[in-house]
Amino acid sequence: MLANFHTHTLFCDGHDTVFDMAEFAFSSGFTHLGFSSHAPLPFDARWTMKEERISSYIKEIDDAKKKFNKMKIFTALEIDYIPSTWEYSKKIISDNKYDYLIGAVHLLGEPGGKDYITITGNSSRFADSLANSGKDIKSAVREYYERMIYLIKYTEVDVMAHFDLIKKVNVDFQIFDENASWYNDFLNDALDALAANPKIVEVNTGALSRKKSKDLFPSDYILKFLLKNNIPVVINSDCHRKKDIAAYYDFAADKLKSLGFYYTMIYDDGWIKTPL
Ligand SMILES: [Zn+2]
Ligand SMILES: [Zn+2]
């Protein structure tokens, strides 16, 4: 079965239309497709959807549902957690009905502040913004996982996106040692929060297909924790181009099976298990 619940289109920072993505997915044999534009933020963030485009987003997806009615299509959002904008984000979520929500942390600090850092760029850009922010790497990593913990404990998001995204800026360990005990302490706090408040964790192949990482999000260490604690996973490619819709899916499935997983989750008018 082919399914993807994390996809981006021209409504945010993707490169294809909703229709093109749906057509490509359908002709590639997909049975389930979820659209998850970056939810609007109340400041200038060019990679997010603009608030005034939400109604067109919903309408285009509804049109695709009618056109490709042999494939299940869903309307979702990928939402960033930033403390000062969360009230705004809650309103965005409640203004319309979404099938499910993906929670993510791509930003540290506060918009407009000198501590504002995006963690989706490359290592050297991250190092520069970190130096300008006056923070050290430990406080940046702590802030990253604290924001993930907030999403886990206090929000209605269904799926936690790219759980250890902070390592994306750390290709070849240029910025920090992922085996250091301080790193694992922050990560373990987030995993403990997850064990106490289970949510679906995404196995995200996107950075592999965009050559931004040499491994999946999350790491094997996290995957083993999820397995041990019966926390379900969903495989997504987080594609920004239709051609990447199933990129590295076989790699992800083989990895999960080799670790002992035997099912993943799919959304089918509710989250259900499906054999791997
Ligand atoms: Zn993301
Ligand atoms: Zn995404």
CATH fold of the domain at 2-275 = TIM Barrel (3.20.20)
- Residues 61-74, mean pLDDT to the nearest whole number: 98
pLDDT at 127: 86
Query: Per-domain residue ranges for the chain?
Result: 2-275
Residue 212 has pLDDT above 70, yes or no: no
Cα of 170 to ligand 2 centre, how many Å? 19
Say what percent of the chain tops pLDDT 90.
81
Nearest-10 Cα torsion for 90, 96, 97, 103: -30
HSE, side-chain direction, 13 A CA sphere, residue 132: 14
134 burial class (0-12, 13-18, 19+ CB within 10 angstroms)? exposed
Greatest CA separation for the chain: 53
Q: How do residues 106-130 score in pLDDT, each as one tens digit?
A: 999 999 888 899 887 678 888 888 8
Cα of 108 to ligand 1 centre, how many Å? 14
Q: Which residues, including other chains, have CB under 8 Å from residue 24's CB and lie 6 or more apart?
A: 16, 242, 243, 245
- List the shell of residues around ion ligand 2, using CB closer than 5 Å: 78, 238
- List the shell of residues around ion ligand 1, using CB closer than 5 Å: 104, 161
Q: How do residues 185-195 score in pLDDT, each as one tens digit?
A: 999 999 999 99
- Residues 223-248, mean pLDDT to the nearest whole number: 97
Residue 220 has pLDDT above 80, yes or no: yes
Cα of 40 to ligand 1 centre, how many Å? 13
Cα of 9 to ligand 1 centre, how many Å? 13
Kindly report the pTM of this predicted structure: 0.96
